[in-house]
Amino acid sequence: MWRQYDLYYSYTDAPDYYLKGLFAIAYFKNQEFGVAKSLAEYAITQNANYILPYQIKAYIGLLTNQHDLALTSLDVLVQIDADNQERYQFLLGLAHYYNNDYTKASDYFLQMQSPRLKLESLRYMIDMDKKQSLALADKQEFDKKIYNKLEQLFATENLSGLVDVDFQAVFDWYVYDRLQVGSG
C-alpha cells in the first residue's frame, strides 16, 4: 500500500481533489472506511462534480449499513454520471431494499434494462415478495407475484444467467417454505 502512496505523491500535476480520491480508494480497498469517507468528503468540497468520491461514499454506505449515506451519494451520482445511471439506480434499489422500503426498491428494480441487472433485480423482488407474504394471512396475491417472477427468472432468454441461488429459491418456495408453515 505504501508504494501506492509514493506513486500518488509523485503526481505533481494532478489536482488535489483527484489525489484525495485516489487515496480514498486505497483506504477503501484496505477497509479503512472512516478514512476513505473523510477523504472522499474532502474531495467533494474541492470539486462537487467529481464522481469518484460519491461512488466511494455510496459503496461505504452499502457495505456498512449506512443506507442514508448510500442513498444521498447515489442520488447525486444519478444526476452527474449519466453513463452509469442504470447501475446507480440498481444500487438505489438495493439501498432501499436494505432499508426495508420495498416499494421504493421495486420502483428502481423495475427500471432495469440490461439483462444482468434485470435478473439480479428479479432475485431481490422475489425475496421482497416472500418477506411480505410471510406477514399476511391471505398470501394468494403474493403467491401469484412470486410465481410470475419465478417464471420471468426462468424464462428461456435468462437460462444462461441463472445461478445456484435461483434454483434454491424455487426449491425453497415450492417445497421447504411450504413445509415450514405447514401448508403442505
Cell numbers at 133, concatenated: 407474504
Domain endpoint, select from 101, 131, 155: 101
User: Using the 8-state DSSP alphabet, how is residue 18 labeled?
Assistant: H
Same structural domain, 97 and 127: no
Same structural domain, 25 and 88: yes
CATH of the domain at 22: 1.25.40.10
Check whether 78 has a pLDDT greater than 50. yes
What is the domain extent for residue 145? Answer: 112-184
- Mean pLDDT calculated for residue range 51-62: 96
Indicate whether 71 belongs to any domain.
yes
pTM: 0.78
99-108 per-position pLDDT tens digit: 999 999 999 9
Same structural domain, 70 and 145: no
Tally of domains in the chain: 2
Cell numbers at 178, concatenated: 411450504
Cα 183 from chain centroid (whole Å):
34
88-101 per-position pLDDT tens digit: 999 999 999 999 99
Same structural domain, 97 and 116: no
How are the residues of the chain apportioned to helix, strand and coil, as percentages rounded to the nearest 5?
Answer: 80, 0, 20
Same structural domain, 96 and 125: no
Same structural domain, 182 and 130: yes
Domain endpoint, select from 101, 127, 144: 101
Check whether 147 has a pLDDT greater than 80. no
CA distance to 128, 139, 150, 155, 166, per residue, from 122 (Å): 10, 19, 8, 12, 10
Indicate whether 106 belongs to any domain.
no
Indicate whether 179 belongs to any domain.
yes
Indicate whether 107 belongs to any domain.
no
Same structural domain, 1 and 29: yes
Indicate whether 63 belongs to any domain.
yes
124-133 per-position pLDDT tens digit: 998 888 787 7
> Which one, of 25, 28, 33, lies nearest residue 7 by Cα?
25
Indicate whether 120 belongs to any domain.
yes
User: Does residue 35 contact residue 6 with C-beta atoms inside 8 Å?
Assistant: no
Same structural domain, 11 and 85: yes
Domain endpoint, select from 74, 101, 128: 101
Same structural domain, 58 and 138: no
Count of C-beta atoms within a 10 Å radius of residue 142: 18
Count of C-beta atoms within a 10 Å radius of residue 115: 12
